[in-house]
Structure 1
Amino acid sequence: MALEAVARPNAGRRFVAVAVVAVPLAFVVSGLAIRYAAFASVSAEPGFAAYAQALCRWDCAWYVGISEHGYERFPIPGQSNVGRWGFFPLYPMLVAAIRSVFPFPTILVASITSIACSYAACLVAWPLLEKNMRAYVLYCAFLLSGPFSYHFTTFLTEPLFVLLTSCVFLALKRSSYLAAGLSSALLSATRLVGVLVVFATVIQMFRDYRAKGGPTLSFPRWLLGRPDLLVAIFISPAGLFAYVLFLHLTLGDGFAFLHVQRAFGRVAGNPLAFVWDGLSVLPTTRWLPTAPQWSALAALIGLALSAVLAVRRQYGAALFCACCIILPLITNLASMVRYVVGLAPLTMLLAMLLSVSKLTYLAALGLFLSACYFMTVAWIGGYLALV
């Protein structure tokens, strides 16, 4: 009887472990099938290589260029003032390193790497979702078979960004601050807004300090007396600093990634005005919202979900997500849908909210899978809101 009592929990844990590994794998397969069907419906050219190339839209071409040729020096005779410096280097470097071992076309290597990163992000999300199987299924479906799954399965930074963001918050959940700092350093080399996650680290340190009964006003002095925590904080922006140093040495302008934004039409302005202007662009021929309206709605929904995180006392995640939305919003609405769906804390929160009842869970799962086809067609067709 004693052996039976031990065996049953062990069997249950093994079943859960197998499910955690198998669920995202199933959505990898279903997502590939759905997106390939969407590709086949608009293209006469068969094959996975053609499929991967068709999904390589917009910023994907810039990352392919960086991975194959690196960053250009300026000026280059006969070239545009638009340079590659606005795109951060870690993911193109990773793809280039893998391609040096497996000599296949860049977009094929990048597509497989993106799927692997998104799959790993799902595994890391399991403890962050409080081991809620319904929420886990929805989250995996969203990343790998959902309406925006092409963002997480082609050569964009979203797969690595989501994975590293999840690693940071998992490390913070376990109070593993050095691991959080290392993940933050890699995150800051993936996208500019990645450097902002250091604020979530400091907030979690403060919460842990207060949980042990420490007085609020003594927190700075306590922090200065913890070299291990200071190291975790100071290494967080290391990826960004390394990129600044590289640009300074090669271009003479360490902040070229900021200065080049003007060439992409990004000029600082009032974010509220950008949102209002986007909402004001009414459709003229169809009832569907226009591309600027979709972008403005995505920003508002993202900020609303950030507020929900704050209400749930997830202050670090709330601040990080809000800053990741507001910072690009200061320039314009471009890529706002992609920026919002690429924020792991928001999509995890959405999965948790939709998994509350069996009805909403099943409805959301069906919606994710069915929308994948139509949104992939729109992405391949160059629908501007999805840029």
Structure 2
Amino acid sequence: MALEAVARPNAGGRFVAVAVVAVPLAFVVSGLAIRYAAFASVSAEPGFAAYAQALCRWDCAWYVGISEHGYERFPIPGQSNVGRWGFFPLYPMLVAAIRSVFRFPTILVASITSIACSYAACLVAWPLLEKNMRAYVLYCAFLLSGPFSYHFTTFLTEPLFVLLTSCVFLALKRSSYLAAGLSSALLSATRLVGVLVVFATVIQMFTDYRAKGGSTLSFPRWLLGRPDLLVAIFISPAGLFAYILFLYLTVGDGFAFLHVQRAFGRVPGNPLAFIWDGFSAVPTTGWLPTAPQWSALAALIGLALSAVLAVRRQYGAALFCACCIILPLITNLASMVRYVVGLAPLTILLAMLSSASKPTFLAALALFLGACYFMTVAWIGGYLALV
């Protein structure tokens, strides 16, 4: 409440700036304290290094391997057919570059880098949240001290993905299309679905053109007459194309990142059937939902929030988020919870909706902070729905 009062329109800009910087920093500290307490409750080994290693679960180990050893050349005698090619290179490269300067263990460097990326994502989100202090507090709490904050503070791509996604939509909000294109290029080298953000760029271009009185039919001709906009569009998938070229030159298969998915059990199918099968996986004992049920529920919630974005006329963000959910859903429900909570437009929308009144704001903040402890314990314990 005090932060909200500081950020009132009649307060000085300096105090607002201090609040914007201090809020996520406070949640960095509180999140570390809560997650470390959760770690200490299930581990007898003390220290930040042990804590960082305990949070390195599931895909984190793959990124550590890429950062330390790069991508393997297939085939390798005695190795599994499962390769690292399905994990995109930008974030492991960033961690490797930082580790070359600061000679610390990879997971320590990655954990600190992830916290820094998530902190920066909060700062970028401030204008996207319409400078609403209550929504900003909730968003920072969700990323840094919330129930899924371990995703944004360990060696996974979510911290960089959220940061770059926020940069893209902030650039589009300001009609800075070249900046959006550059951020999109980096995003496409972070995760495969990052390349889909180019559609949001084209939609924003069309929206701005229509706002200036242009007609729908004349938009393609107008766009072809704007080389600067074409450059912004064509550089958006540059990160993906660079990775395809790298795989072609080193592995012999530019689409190895797609072909290796079968080794992880991802085979194309009917998304509706996957959701139905997920909800049908009822628990055999107890009342808690099963991991497939949580994943199916996360997919539906994500699609529902995408529809809300569309109703609010945020068509580019709605399409991007819906595609980022549906594309992996075509294969199965694996990692669906992580994919949904890692979509910045959805979490920004959730923060805006939850901050509509002081009671909902306080309830959401208490829920985020309270759930952080228990969800961290579940993550360390290997609960399958959180993969």
Sort the TM-score into its range (normalised by shorter chain). over 0.9
Aligned mates of 1:38, 1:2 — CA distance in 2: 29
CA contact 2:4–2:133 (8 Å) conserved in 1:
no
* Contact 2:6–2:15, Cα closer than 8 Å, also in 1: no
**Following TM superposition, by how much is the alpha carbon of 1:6 offset from its aligned partner in structure 2, in angstroms?**
17
CA deviation string 1:130-182 (max 9, x = no partner): 00000000000000000000000000000000000000000000000000000
Once residues 68 and 384 of structure 1 are traced to their aligned partners in structure 2, the CA distance between those partners, rounded to angstroms, is 26
Identity of aligned residues (%): 95
Q: Give the superposition deviation at 1:3.
A: 26
Return the alpha-carbon distance in structure 2 between the equivalents of residues 309 and 216 of structure 1: 22
Does the CA-based 8 Å contact 2:4-2:134 persist in structure 1?
A: no
In structure 2, the CA distance between the partners of 1:9 and 1:279, relative to structure 1 (3 Å rule), is closer
1:329 corresponds in structure 2 to 329
> Structure 1: how far apart are the matches of 2:29 and 2:317?
31
Distance 1:346 1:79, change over 3 A: same
Q: How many Å separate the matches in 1 of 2:162 and 2:110? A: 16
Q: Deviations over 1:290-327 (max 9, x none)?
A: 00000000000000000000000000000000000000
User: Aligned partners of 2:74 and 2:346: how far apart in 1?
Assistant: 38
Aligned ranges 1:337-376 → 2 under 5 Å: 337-376=337-376
Change (3 A) 1:2 1:321: closer
| C-alpha distance in 2 between matches for 1:48 and 1:106 | 13
State the distance in 1 between where 2:6 and 2:91 align: 45
Number of the residue aligned with 2:311: 311
Deviation, 1:193, is 0.0
Deviating above 4 A after TM superposition, structure 1's stretches of 4 or more consecutive aligned residues are 1-11
Q: State how far apart, in whole Å, the 1-side matches of 2:76 and 2:132 are.
A: 53
Deviation track 1:14-70 (CA, whole Å, cap 9, x = no partner) reads 111000000000000000000000000000000000000000000000000000000
Residue correspondence of structure 1 range 255-334 to structure 2 within 5 A: 255-334=255-334
Q: In structure 2, do the counterparts of structure 1 residues 375 and 212 end up closer, same or farther at CA, with 3 Å as the change threshold?
A: same
How far 1:286 moved relative to its partner? Answer: 1.3
Aligned equivalents of 1:7, 1:331: Cα separation in 2: 45
- Distance in 2, matches of 1:194 and 1:24, equals 25
Deviation at 1:283, TM superposition (A): 1.0
Given the superposition, is the C-alpha separation of residues 9 and 331 from structure 1 closer, same or farther in structure 2, using an over 3 Å criterion?
A: closer
Cα shift at 1:7: 15
What's the TM-score once normalised by structure 1's chain length? Answer: 0.98
> What CA distance in whole angstroms lies between the structure 2 residues aligned with 1:2 and 1:147?
24
Note the C-alpha offset of 1:285.
1.1
- Cα distance change, pair 23–76 in 1 and its aligned pair in 2 (3 A): same
Aligned to 1:88: 88
Distance 2:190 2:55 in 1: 21
Q: Distance in 2 between matches of 1:36 and 1:16?
A: 30
Give 1:5 deviation, angstroms.
Answer: 19
Any gaps of 5 or more consecutive residues in structure 1?
none
**What is residue 160 of structure 1 aligned with on the other side?**
160
Q: Normalising to structure 2: TM-score of the pair?
A: 0.98
**1:58-93 per-position Cα deviation (integer Å, ceiling 9, x unaligned):** 000000000000000000000000000000000000
Q: Is the alpha carbon distance of 1:7 and 1:367 closer, same or farther for their aligned partners in structure 2, counting shifts above 3 Å?
A: closer
Q: CA RMSD in A?
A: 3.1
* Cα displacement (A) at 1:4: 23
Q: Kindly state the Cα deviation for residue 187 of structure 1 after the two structures are TM-superposed.
A: 0.0
Residues 6, 19 of structure 2: 8 Å contact kept = no
TM-superposition CA deviations, 1:174-224 (whole Å, max 9, x none): 000000000000000000000000000000000000000001100000000
Quote the Cα distance in structure 2 between the aligned partners of 1:104 and 1:250: 29
- When residues 280 and 207 of structure 1 are mapped into structure 2, their CA distance, relative to the original with a 3 A threshold, is same
Asked if the contact 2:245/2:254 (under 8 Å) is kept, the reply is yes
Distance 1:188 1:198 in 2: 10
**Number of equivalenced pairs:** 387
CA shift in 2, pair 1:31/1:6, >3 Å: closer
Structure 1 residue 12 displacement after superposition: 1.6
Q: Aligned equivalents of 1:7 and 1:149: distance in 2?
A: 26
Distance 2:10 2:90 in 1: 40
1:11, CA displacement in angstroms?
A: 5.6
Task: Specify the SS of the correspondent of 1:10.
Answer: coil
Instruction: Quote the offset at 1:254 in angstroms.
Output: 0.1
Change (3 A) 1:8 1:223: closer
Q: Is the 8 A contact 2:180 2:232 kept in 1?
A: yes
Give deviations 1:93-137, integer Å, cap 9, x for gaps. 000000000000000000000000000000000000000000000
Distance 1:199 1:145, change over 3 A: same
